[in-house]
Amino acid sequence: ELDVTEYQKSLAIRVSGFDVPRPIKIFEDSGFSLQLMSAITKQGYEKPTPIQCQALPIVLSGRDIIGIAKTGSGKTAAFVLPMIVHIMDQPELEKEEGPIGVICAPTRELAHQIYLESKKFAKSHGIRVCAVYGGMSKLDQFKELKAGCEIVVATPGRLIDMLKIKALTMLRATYLVLDEADRMFDLGFEPQIRSVVGQVRPDRQTLLFSATMPRKIEKLAREILTDPVRVTVGEVGM
Ligand code: ADP
Ligand code: MG
């Protein structure tokens, strides 16, 4: 245990919550499939970043997480890689429809980056990713969603529009990511976030990532996450 504490300290990782899974040192410690490992290598990722070292084992164990680390620290892969594992673990994948993984991000640009990153890891597993944000006509978006997907990357407003017109159902959604939660709050998306969360089954796994953690987001996190592990890397503003 002492060396775990030392290792966390060396990576500037702080954790709180009960039974926190120990951080990994190399991607191989995650038990990823060969396919996923080769996709990681193809990305040029040699070893996990500090947030990935601690977040990957937490999320892979099925726990909810509050992940706080600055921009550029590799938070996307910290939720995308376990999402691929989560999706591949679903029994009878074909039985229902609608996304299994739902990712909300504050802007079209950020959502698009996550969309591209998700596709890189989803492709080799036959997992379909749908982008749900402005820039595409609502009719085209509707058609694309109707064609089916396992992952949706969305801005909250457009996702709610698509839910309203029943372009997708959340029946299968069990893995919900709120990325850049601080920016979503700053942009006034709290009601939309609450609406989306309210439409995803309560037995979901919920992940919240942010570069800063102001009080109001901490409060929201406590409301919508279940026994989360909180991970902070480096010095983070409030
Ligand atoms: P954040 O969401 O924390 O701002 P990103 O997930 O966008 O950070 O990652 C920032 C950059 O680091 C991206 O270009 C990404 O491809 C790269 N990256 C992520 N994880 C690793 C890794 N383990 N090794 C090398 N580069 C990585
Ligand atoms: Mg990010």
DSSP string, 161-186: HHHHTTS---TT--EEEE-SHHHHHH
Give the count of beta carbons closer than 10 Å to the beta carbon of residue 222: 10
For the CA of 180, the closest atom of ligand 1 is 2
Q: Strand 229-233 vs strand 13-16: parallel, antiparallel, or unpaired? A: antiparallel
Of 46, 52, 76, the one to substitute when testing ligand 1's pocket (max ligand atoms within 8 A of C-beta) is 76
pLDDT of residue 238: 62
Q: Could you tell me the distance, in angstroms and rounded to a whole number, from the CA of residue 94 to the centre of ligand 2?
A: 30
What atom in ligand 1 is closest to the CA of residue 44?
25
DSSP 96: S
- Residue to mutate (ligand 1; options 24, 73, 113, 233; most atoms within 8 A of CB): 73
Instruction: Please report the pLDDT score of residue 2 as a whole number.
Output: 65
One-letter amino acid of 130:
C
Please report, in tens digits, the pLDDT of each residue of the chain (238 residues total): 669 999 999 999 999 999 999 999 999 999 999 999 999 999 999 999 999 999 999 999 999 999 999 999 999 999 999 999 999 999 776 667 899 999 999 999 999 999 999 999 999 899 999 999 988 899 999 999 999 999 999 999 999 999 999 999 999 999 999 999 999 999 999 999 999 999 999 999 999 999 999 999 999 999 999 999 999 999 876 6
- Whose atoms come closest to the Cα of 233: which ligand? 1
Torsion angle defined by CA atoms of residues 32, 231, 181 and 165, in that order, rounded to the nearest 10 degrees: 40
Whole-model pTM?
0.97
Q: Would you tell me the crossing angle of helices 34-42 and 75-88 to the nearest 10 degrees?
A: 160
Measured from the alpha carbon of residue 77, the closest ligand is 1
Relative to the alpha carbon of 178, which ligand is closest?
2
Residue 54: its pLDDT value, please?
98
Residue 210 Cβ inside 6 Å of ligand 1? The answer reads no
Residue nearest to atom 23 of ligand 1 (CA): 48
For residue 179, the CA-to-ligand 2 centroid distance in Å is 7
Please tell me the predicted confidence (pLDDT) of residue 18: 94
In the chain, DSSP finds a helix count (H) and a strand count (E) of: 10, 8
What is the rounded distance in angstroms from the CA atom of residue 11 to the CA atom of residue 158? 37
Write down the ipTM of this complex: 0.99
**DSSP-derived 3-state class of residue 203:** coil
Q: Which atom of ligand 1 is nearest the CA belonging to 51?
A: 3
